[in-house]
Protein backbone atom coordinates (compact mmCIF):
# COMPACT_ATOMS: atom_id res chain seq x y z
CA UNK A 1 0.00 0.00 0.00
CA UNK A 2 1.56 3.28 -1.11
CA UNK A 3 2.17 5.88 1.58
CA UNK A 4 1.63 8.54 -1.13
CA UNK A 5 -2.08 7.71 -1.39
CA UNK A 6 -4.47 9.67 0.82
CA UNK A 7 -5.16 8.05 4.20
CA UNK A 8 -8.87 7.56 3.48
CA UNK A 9 -7.99 5.54 0.36
CA UNK A 10 -5.55 3.39 2.34
CA UNK A 11 -8.30 2.84 4.92
CA UNK A 12 -10.68 1.99 2.10
CA UNK A 13 -8.19 -0.64 0.89
CA UNK A 14 -8.11 -2.13 4.39
CA UNK A 15 -11.90 -2.22 4.63
CA UNK A 16 -12.12 -3.82 1.17
CA UNK A 17 -9.53 -6.42 2.25
CA UNK A 18 -11.66 -7.22 5.34
CA UNK A 19 -14.60 -7.91 3.04
CA UNK A 20 -12.67 -9.80 0.35
CA UNK A 21 -10.86 -11.96 2.90
CA UNK A 22 -14.17 -12.91 4.52
CA UNK A 23 -13.53 -11.26 7.88
CA UNK A 24 -16.87 -9.52 7.27
CA UNK A 25 -19.33 -10.81 4.72
CA UNK A 26 -22.37 -9.55 2.88
CA UNK A 27 -24.96 -8.49 5.45
CA UNK A 28 -22.47 -8.41 8.34
CA UNK A 29 -21.98 -5.34 10.51
CA UNK A 30 -18.83 -3.31 9.99
CA UNK A 31 -16.73 -2.03 12.89
CA UNK A 32 -17.80 1.35 14.18
CA UNK A 33 -16.00 4.45 12.93
CA UNK A 34 -14.43 4.91 16.37
CA UNK A 35 -13.22 1.33 16.70
CA UNK A 36 -11.75 1.28 13.20
CA UNK A 37 -10.08 4.65 13.83
CA UNK A 38 -8.51 3.24 16.99
CA UNK A 39 -7.42 0.04 15.21
CA UNK A 40 -5.65 1.92 12.42
CA UNK A 41 -4.58 4.97 14.41
CA UNK A 42 -6.59 7.24 12.13
CA UNK A 43 -8.81 10.25 12.64
CA UNK A 44 -12.48 9.19 12.94
CA UNK A 45 -13.43 11.74 10.26
CA UNK A 46 -11.03 10.04 7.88
CA UNK A 47 -12.59 6.65 8.62
CA UNK A 48 -16.03 8.18 8.09
CA UNK A 49 -14.87 9.47 4.69
CA UNK A 50 -13.70 5.97 3.71
CA UNK A 51 -17.02 4.47 4.81
CA UNK A 52 -18.90 7.23 2.97
CA UNK A 53 -17.15 6.30 -0.28
CA UNK A 54 -18.40 2.71 0.14
CA UNK A 55 -21.87 3.98 0.97
CA UNK A 56 -21.88 6.20 -2.15
CA UNK A 57 -21.13 3.10 -4.24
CA UNK A 58 -23.85 1.06 -2.55
CA UNK A 59 -21.35 -1.33 -0.96
CA UNK A 60 -22.27 -0.33 2.59
CA UNK A 61 -25.74 0.20 4.04
CA UNK A 62 -26.44 2.40 7.05
CA UNK A 63 -29.15 1.38 9.47
CA UNK A 64 -29.89 4.38 11.63
CA UNK A 65 -29.20 3.71 15.27
CA UNK A 66 -27.74 0.29 14.50
CA UNK A 67 -24.62 0.82 12.38
CA UNK A 68 -23.13 0.09 9.00
CA UNK A 69 -23.47 -3.21 7.21
CA UNK A 70 -21.88 -4.79 4.15
CA UNK A 71 -24.43 -4.59 1.34
CA UNK A 72 -25.69 -7.71 -0.44
CA UNK A 73 -23.34 -8.66 -3.32
CA UNK A 74 -20.68 -6.19 -2.11
CA UNK A 75 -18.06 -8.94 -1.94
CA UNK A 76 -18.54 -9.98 -5.55
CA UNK A 77 -18.70 -6.35 -6.73
CA UNK A 78 -15.44 -5.54 -4.92
CA UNK A 79 -13.80 -8.69 -6.31
CA UNK A 80 -14.85 -7.80 -9.87
CA UNK A 81 -13.64 -4.20 -9.51
CA UNK A 82 -10.35 -5.41 -8.05
CA UNK A 83 -9.83 -7.90 -10.87
CA UNK A 84 -10.61 -5.26 -13.49
CA UNK A 85 -8.22 -2.78 -11.87
CA UNK A 86 -5.46 -5.38 -11.60
CA UNK A 87 -5.79 -6.67 -15.16
CA UNK A 88 -6.16 -3.24 -16.78
CA UNK A 89 -3.75 -1.15 -14.73
CA UNK A 90 -1.24 -3.22 -12.78
CA UNK A 91 -0.85 -6.45 -14.77
CA UNK A 92 0.55 -4.88 -17.97
CA UNK A 93 3.58 -3.51 -16.08
CA UNK A 94 4.01 -6.74 -14.09
CA UNK A 95 3.83 -8.80 -17.31
CA UNK A 96 6.40 -6.51 -18.95
CA UNK A 97 8.72 -6.93 -15.95
CA UNK A 98 8.30 -10.73 -16.12
CA UNK A 99 9.26 -10.66 -19.82
CA UNK A 100 12.27 -8.39 -19.20
CA UNK A 101 13.55 -10.73 -16.49
CA UNK A 102 12.90 -13.87 -18.53
CA UNK A 103 10.86 -15.50 -15.78
CA UNK A 104 8.88 -18.61 -16.63
CA UNK A 105 5.38 -19.48 -15.46
CA UNK A 106 6.87 -22.44 -13.56
CA UNK A 107 9.27 -20.17 -11.65
CA UNK A 108 6.45 -17.85 -10.74
CA UNK A 109 4.15 -20.66 -9.62
CA UNK A 110 6.93 -22.17 -7.46
CA UNK A 111 7.24 -18.84 -5.63
CA UNK A 112 3.52 -18.14 -5.26
CA UNK A 113 2.60 -17.87 -1.58
CA UNK A 114 -0.07 -20.23 -0.30
pTM value is 0.81
The per-residue pLDDT for 4 is 83
Low-confidence ranges of the chain (pLDDT < 50): 1
Domains annotated for the chain, with CATH where assigned, are 7-72 (1.10.10.10), 75-111 (no CATH)
The per-residue pLDDT for 114 is 79
Burial of 13 (0-12, 13-18, 19+ CB in 10 A): middle
Burial of 87 (0-12, 13-18, 19+ CB in 10 A): exposed
Amino acid sequence: MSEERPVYLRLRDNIAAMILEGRVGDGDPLPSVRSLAAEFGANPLTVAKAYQSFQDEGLVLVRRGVGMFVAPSATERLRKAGRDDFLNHRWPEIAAQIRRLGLSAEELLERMPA
